[in-house]
Chains A and B, each alone.
Chain A
Amino acid sequence: MAVDPILDGGTSIDEVALEPLACGRDAAVVWDRAEAGTPPDAHERDCPHCTAVRADAAGLSSLVHRMAAEDIDPPPSVMERVMGAVMSELRPHDVLQLESPHGANRLGRPAAAGVLRGVVDRMDGLRARSCRIEQVPDRFDADVTITVTARFGVDLASVTARVRQMVLAAGEQTLGVPVRRVDISVVDIWGEP
């Protein structure tokens, strides 16, 4: 197949629209059809231009598939370095104040939200998505806004009542943060109907 000589410059002209083949067909479409294993239609069987495109596609195909199948995984050290850097960037000031008569006690807000999400995750057919904990100004109690996704068929009324009960209990007993209010939104339903 002829290659446009101006392509030798690299990427600068790649916004130029593809010229159709001399037979009028779109070369990219012919290639895609060949790659998808679609047999040549009547035109493609007799057309030298389409035949040349299909031959190029076929010639490259097995090599491209072999390259795509190569197993290349990142070494574990990449994730270790990433998580090390992430941990070092955490904002220690994002905290909840806990009631304490002898000096300040603080609890990381993301950790507290993680505990409340975990309570929901352990309930059958429910998963927590967002969990926001906002302390009432100048007080220790907090309002919790939580979004959950539920498995199809779960009784939403009773299950949200149970979420509220569990979040109230976990706030008080596990976190030491009395929960004043729990707003729950079911934002997605998963599983096959």
Chain B
Amino acid sequence: MQGFAEPAPVSVEVPPGPHLDDLTLVVRAQEGDVRAFEALARRHQAALYRLASRVMGDHAEAEDALQEALLDAWRRIDRFRGDSAFSTWMYRVVTNRCLAMLRKRRPLPVEDVEDGTPAPDSPERSAEADASMAALGTALQGLGDDLRICWVLREMEGLGYTEIAEITGASEDAVRGRIHRARTRLAEVMRAWR
């Protein structure tokens, strides 16, 4: 290293791998270790993408939400204090990104929503299964955003009421209410498919 060359990454460090716990990777990322952040992001991206996909109901938008949320996380990693699990914090960051995108989304005219129902195009038996899944997906998108987010965190991600309350900033009672209302609504819609 001579002259005024920009500092180059030194390549003798051990790549942070699966043997490092989240907290260790977070502390390293907070100190500017990009590879530690990358390891964290890779570890959690699948769960975060699942959440975004179900909340947004659209893979392209889910990709955008995930990408922006991961950048939010990198830029704000200093604010993570370890009061909750890193996964809880990340779910919150993604949820906030999704809500911001949903608020910007222009409401579709009713006829477009109807047209948007996926039409299954497969042999009869699996078509029925695919169609009921598609119907559940459509019913899910028909729920209010807060109901859908709570339901997805509970039923798709398997989280408890306390953690969902932490992620959404709602009280535990409100979370219980939202999940039950979402369940009831979905059950009602899906009764026709039983």
Chain A interface residues (CB < 8 Å from chain B) = 1, 3-4, 7, 10-12, 14-18, 27-28, 31, 56-57, 59-60, 63-64, 66-68, 72-75, 77-79, 81-83, 85-87, 89-92, 94-95, 98, 100, 102-115, 117-118, 121-122, 127-132, 147, 149, 174-175, 188, 190
Contact = CB atoms under 8 A, between A and B. Distances in A.
Contacts of A110: 31-34
Interface in B1-24: 1-4, 6-10, 12-14, 19-21, 23-24
B194 A59 contact: yes
A112 B188 CA distance: 60
Contact of A10 (B8, B67, B144): B144
Contacts of B177: 14-18, 28
Interface in B85-123: none
19 contacts: A10-B144, A11-B145, A12-B144, A18-B177, A18-B180, A18-B181, A27-B180, A27-B184, A59-B194, A63-B190, A66-B133, A72-B49, A95-B7, A103-B3, A104-B4, A105-B3, A114-B13, A114-B35, A174-B12
B184 A3 contact: yes
B167 interface: no
A190 B21 CA distance: 10
A11 B184 contact: no
Given A107-B7, A175-B10, 11 more contacts: A10-B144, A60-B186, A63-B136, A64-B136, A68-B158, A79-B41, A82-B41, A108-B8, A117-B33, A130-B31, A188-B23
Contacts of A105: 1-3
A169 B15 CA distance: 21
B70 A82 contact: yes
B46 A73 contact: yes
Interface string B129-164: 100110011000000111100000001101000000
A78 B66 contact: yes
A73 B71 contact: no
Contacts of A127: 19-20, 24
Interface of B: 1-4, 6-10, 12-14, 19-21, 23-24, 27-28, 31-35, 37-38, 41-42, 45-46, 49-50, 53, 59, 62-63, 66-67, 70-71, 74-75, 129, 132-133, 136-137, 144-147, 155-156, 158, 170, 173-174, 176-181, 183-188, 190-191, 193-194
A18 B176 contact: yes
A59 B190 contact: yes
